[in-house]
Copies of this chain bind each other. A is one copy, B any other.
Amino acid sequence: MPETKKLSLEPYKGTRDFYPKDQFIQNYIFGVWRKVAERFGYLEYNASILEETDLYRAKSGEEIVSEQTYSFTDRGGRDVTIRPEMTPTVARMVAQKRKELSFPLRWFSIPNLFRYERPQRGRLREHWQLNCDIFGVDSIEADVEIISLAYEIMKGFGAKDENFVIKLNNRRALNRLFSEMGLDEEKQKTFRRLLDKKGKIPDFDEQAKAILGKPFNANLEPDKETSELMQKLTKLGITNVVFEPFLVRGFDYYTGTVFEMYDTNPVNPRALFGGGRYDDLVGIFGVEKVSGIGFGWGDVTTRDFLETYNLLPEYQPPVKLYICHLENYLEAANQLASDLRKQGVNVAVDLTSRKVSQQVKTADKENIPFVLVVGEEEAKSGKFKLKNLKLGKEVVVNQENIISSLQIS
């Protein structure tokens, strides 16, 4: 086959390859997410990364759909989108089984999401995101739990209270303020979008004035609902929470509490997680309303955070033992490996015919903690020199004692 063009070795722009050491970190992050979510009784769900484009047109917000989605027409003429967020999907799923499902309902998922953006620190075109949601609880108790859950995940990662701050606001209170200011629905939307960009645009004050006809004065005191939420969180020992009058979140579907969490270290300026209440979203599918509140929590900012505070675990491969062999003893090595695997040990065998020293070097490079060599002597005697590559120590053991020797060292 003629090669007309050199094939790229790189992943698609704004996406990542996860080599085993990167995947180890992903699995660590996903593991903490899953463990804490399940601790609170959340059930895992998932869906396809492709959805019909209409799903996002309804409520995600115009900027996301028209500028940031990966949308195309399939070979059968359907307009499809690679999901930019998970909330519309979970609302669709809840709506689909509205009558069969029992509420309250706690669900989580760890989907990957796509946005067409300029890649930069903390933001890529593809990222993975923990989504946790409660459906069917109208009261503030759900708001308290969902933020407690997020807080406990931070604790699960080993973060200290002073490392992060949770910012709160309330869309209902914002809307009341906007109404008092005499803004119609369209102007409210436009202004909300401007507020969402505050801090990123230098001429916010002028743009605000252009929309409002006068300078913008936010309510600097929290509304009643936000105050109550803060009190309840304080009672649970969650005190790194502040009222943020300019916080809106980008999505159109929020109806009440909105929140975001930030690293207190300015090296990571992007939110780690964010979410809010969306009591009208399930209803747009033409079924009876169900209230909802939830958050999305990204892997990219999380990894940056964990690196910043040195909270990542040291890399360890799942394989415990690497078995090397002399010529003609590969079969014996495979047999030993097979016996050990049946007893639950993760074992790899070097399948090459290289020198033993080179085989051992591979184990060392792969961070595998133990190595042993099978040759004539070992095959005859059933005794093996088990070497701990980290400590450089060697013990002679019978086959029956290999497993206990792997565990104690």
Q: Is A210 an interface residue (CB 8 A)?
A: no
Chain B residues lying within 8 Å of A96, measured Cβ to Cβ, are 9-10, 17
Per a CB cutoff under 8 Å, which of B19, B106, B142, B341 touches A40? B341
Contact B318 A43 (CB under 8 A): yes
Per a CB cutoff under 8 Å, which of B7, B54, B103, B319 touches A54? B7
- Residues in A136-150 with C-beta less than 8 Å from chain B: 136-137, 139, 141-142, 145
Q: Is A52 an interface residue (CB 8 A)?
A: yes
Report how far A96 CA is from B22 CA in the complex, Å: 15
Supposing A116-B75, A351-B145 touch, asked if A12 and B46 sit within 8 A by C-beta, the answer is: no
Report how far A22 CA is from B96 CA in the complex, Å: 15
Supposing A10-B96, A43-B317 touch, asked if A3 and B58 sit within 8 A by C-beta, the answer is: yes
Report how far A352 CA is from B20 CA in the complex, Å: 44
Contact B353 A54 (CB under 8 A): no
Contact B78 A39 (CB under 8 A): no
Number of this chain's copies in the assembly equals: 2
Chain B: minimal CB distance from A180 (Å)? 23
Report how far A344 CA is from B306 CA in the complex, Å: 23
Q: Is A350 an interface residue (CB 8 A)?
A: yes
Report how far A26 CA is from B109 CA in the complex, Å: 13
Per a CB cutoff under 8 Å, which of B46, B59, B286, B368 touches A6? B286
Report how far A23 CA is from B49 CA in the complex, Å: 15
Report how far A361 CA is from B102 CA in the complex, Å: 9
- Residues in A299-346 with C-beta less than 8 Å from chain B: 317-319, 322, 330, 334, 338, 341, 344-346
Report how far A118 CA is from B19 CA in the complex, Å: 34
Contact A50 B114 (CB under 8 A): yes
Per a CB cutoff under 8 Å, which of B7, B38, B47 touches A17? B47
Contact A43 B20 (CB under 8 A): yes
Report how far A44 CA is from B6 CA in the complex, Å: 28
Supposing A20-B45, A48-B126, A104-B352 touch, asked if A54 and B8 sit within 8 A by C-beta, the answer is: yes
Report how far A86 CA is from B114 CA in the complex, Å: 19
Residues of A in contact with B, size category: 35 or more
Per a CB cutoff under 8 Å, which of B7, B49, B51, B352 touches A55? B7
Supposing A19-B45, A78-B12 touch, asked if A58 and B7 sit within 8 A by C-beta, the answer is: yes
Contact A50 B7 (CB under 8 A): no
Chain B residues lying within 8 Å of A10, measured Cβ to Cβ, are 96
Report how far A7 CA is from B12 CA in the complex, Å: 32
Per a CB cutoff under 8 Å, which of B8, B26, B51, B361 touches A52? B8
Q: Is A212 an interface residue (CB 8 A)?
A: no
Per a CB cutoff under 8 Å, which of B41, B51, B338 touches A347? B41
Contact B74 A46 (CB under 8 A): no
Per a CB cutoff under 8 Å, which of B97, B102, B317, B322 touches A362? B102
Interface string of A343-386 (1 = CB under 8 A from B): 01111111111000000011001101000000000000000000
Per a CB cutoff under 8 Å, which of B13, B39, B40, B284 touches A3? B284
Interface string of A27-48 (1 = CB under 8 A from B): 1000000000011110111111
Top 3 A-B pairs ranked by shortest CB distance? A41-B348, A15-B48, A72-B72
> Knowing that A9-B285, A40-B347 are A-B contacts, what are 17 other residue pairs whose CB atoms are under 8 Å apart, sorted by A's residue number?
A6-B286, A9-B96, A11-B47, A12-B50, A13-B78, A15-B47, A15-B50, A24-B44, A38-B319, A39-B345, A41-B322, A48-B112, A49-B49, A49-B112, A49-B126, A75-B116, A136-B352
